[in-house]
Amino acid sequence: MNCLARRFIRYAEIDTRSDPASFSFPSTPGQTDLLKLLRDELLEMGVEGVHLEQGGILYGSVPGGEEGVTIGLIAHVDTAPAVSGHGVRPVVHREWDGSPIHIAEGVVLDPGECPQMEPYRGGAIITSDGKTLLGADDKAGAAIIMEAVRRMLGNPGTKRPRIVVAFTSDEEIGRGMDNFSTARFGADFAYTVDGEQPGSVDSATFNACRADWRITGIEVHPGSACGRLVNPVRIAAELISMLKPEEMPENSSGEEGFEYPMEVSGDTEAAAVQMIIRDFTTEGLAARVHRMHSLHRFLSEKHDRAVIELEIRNQYSNPRDTLRADRRLVDYAMLGTERAGITPTETSIRGGTDGSRLSFMGVPTVNLPTGGGLFHSRREWLAVQGLEKSLEVLLNTIFVWGENLDG
Ligand SMILES: [Zn+2]
């Protein structure tokens, strides 16, 4: 085992599952344990400005680097709440021969379902023991960043930009950026290391907002309701029936957007409908928001005795628009991938990441690979070669930035 894989295993063994029902930051104490371990390791390496915020974010600045541009590197320490992360015991399957890996009774990692595993035949694959997830998402990212920092400090002669790092908590429950300070972070551009296989440079995500509807009616005993009752339950149902079925997540793919009613609650007094709206283009998102407002006007006029409120809030934005103006973040990552001997592809994610929220907050961010797959499951895997390649991609990318400083 090399030190990168050993480092990953050390982090994976700490239970950092996030908890959406918790109101604390971070949502679970295990995340603080890992953040403290990372803090101590950063301090030991001589990283400056190391600061663990109460809110569950660890910042640091790698000494050295040329003036001009500051690149941030980000990974999240939590694991998905859907699968247990308690007592993770990483198992190393050495010299994997390409056949299905029997992780545990009823837990089989079948390469037939996972063609991304193919290049790693003959190498080592890490999984859990089948009782938990592995947590490569995103402890592989954390290990890659820590190892990259160690190598940069070990080779002070290599020309590179200024580098800052941040480790966040509760990404899996959408709170990763809630307490994030772009001022403290200090990066002009950033890379999250939270993707899958080397080769992909994730430069696009959805633009996202949520629409919260509140409908207040007039409650009257049904026996004497004629001409008087205004029933919010029926208005909520009418609202949902007016959404286009072909623009729902279950009927869209690729770069198609959607409107997704996620939660309905209420009674004859008041009802609430929560929706999320997603689109890859800003114009597309604006058109969907416009449509929400039209629906609101229509329903308010039709049911003029009800009070219908609509609140729309932005959640995150597709970094692609920002990246069009300055292609360096993507282009250098593509070049960094090529130098690691892999054909790069620019890819998009049908979702959002810490990076899309960070882009929305003014720091354009692109996502880089980790070498892992089947995240959020008991069959989650990490190829040791993929992990090493991902580190190589990250370091090469940083050095390409270094070569292109001051024009
Ligand atoms: Zn992740």
Residue 365 C-alpha to ligand 1 middle, in angstroms?
A: 14
CA of 193 to the centre of ligand 1 (A): 8
- Coil/strand/helix, residue 273: strand
Query: Going by C-beta distance under 8 Å and a sequence separation of 6 or more, which residues neighbour residue 160?
Result: 64, 65, 66, 152, 398, 399, 401, 402
Beta strands in 169-257 (DSSP E): 189-193, 200-204, 207-216
C-alpha of 296 from chain center? 32
Query: Active site includes 19?
Result: no
The tens digit of pLDDT for each residue in 105-131 reads 999 999 999 999 999 999 999 999 999
Domain of residue 194, CATH code: 3.40.630.10
Residues 330 and 275 both lie in one domain: no
**Same domain membership, residue 7 and residue 111:** yes
Residues 34, 132, single domain; the answer is yes
CA atoms within 13 A on the CB side of 248: 11
Chain centre to alpha carbon of residue 306: 39
Question: Is 99 in the same domain as 199?
Answer: yes
Catalytic residue among 15, 78, 172, 279: 78
Q: How close is the Cα of 297 to the center of ligand 1, in Å? A: 39
159, 21: one domain: yes
Whether 321 is a known active-site residue: answer no
- Give the pLDDT confidence score for residue 378 in this predicted structure: 96
Q: What share of the chain is helix, strand, coil (3-state, %, to 5)?
A: 35, 25, 40
Total residue count of the chain as it appears in this document: 407
Residue closest to 201 by CA, chosen among 211, 209, 191? 191
Final residue of a structural domain among 315, 342, 361: 315
Please check whether residues 311 and 268 belong to one and the same domain.
Answer: yes
Q: Are residues 155 and 301 in the same domain?
A: no
Does the pLDDT of residue 286 top 60, yes or no? yes
- Is residue 134 within 8 Å of residue 126, measured between CB atoms? yes
According to DSSP, the residues that pair with 312 across neighbouring strands are 211
Q: Residue 343 sits in which domain range?
A: 3-205+318-403
Could you tell me the pLDDT band of residue 54, with boundaries at 50, 70 and 90?
confident
- The pLDDT tens digits of the residues spanning 206-227 come to 999 999 999 999 999 999 999 9
Q: How confident is the model at residue 385 (pLDDT cuts 50, 70, 90)?
A: very high
Any residues with CB less than 8 A from the CB of 254 and at least 6 apart, and which?
Answer: none
Please give the pLDDT value at position 376.
92
- Do 361 and 385 share a domain, yes or no? yes
> Based on the structure, what is the number of domains in the chain?
2
**114 in the same domain as 176:** yes
Looking at 315, 339, 354, which one is the last position of a domain? 315
- pTM, two decimal places: 0.87
pLDDT of res. 2? 85
Quick one: tokens of 145?
């960043």
Kindly state whether residues 348 and 310 are assigned to the same domain.
no
Distance CA 113, CA 9 (A): 25
Instruction: State the catalytic residue, choosing from 147, 170, 171, 392.
Output: 171
- Measured in Å, residue 323 CA sits from the centre of ligand 1 at 22
In the structure, ligand 1 is a single-atom ion and the residues with CB under 5 Å from it are 137-138, 194
For residue 272, the domain's CATH number is 3.30.70.360
Q: Count other Cβ atoms within 10 Å, centred on residue 367.
A: 28
Residues 268 and 351 in one domain: no
Cβ 391 vs Cβ 245: under 8 Å: no
Do 72 and 213 belong together in one domain? Answer: no
Indicate the average pLDDT of the chain. 94
CA 136 to ligand 1 centroid distance, Å = 8
Q: How far is the CA of 368 from the centre of ligand 1 (A)?
A: 11
**Under a CB-based contact definition with an 8 Å cutoff, are residues 378 and 200 in contact?**
no
| Domain termination site, one of 295, 315, 335 | 315
pLDDT tens digits, one per residue of 351-382: 877 888 898 898 999 999 999 999 999 999 99
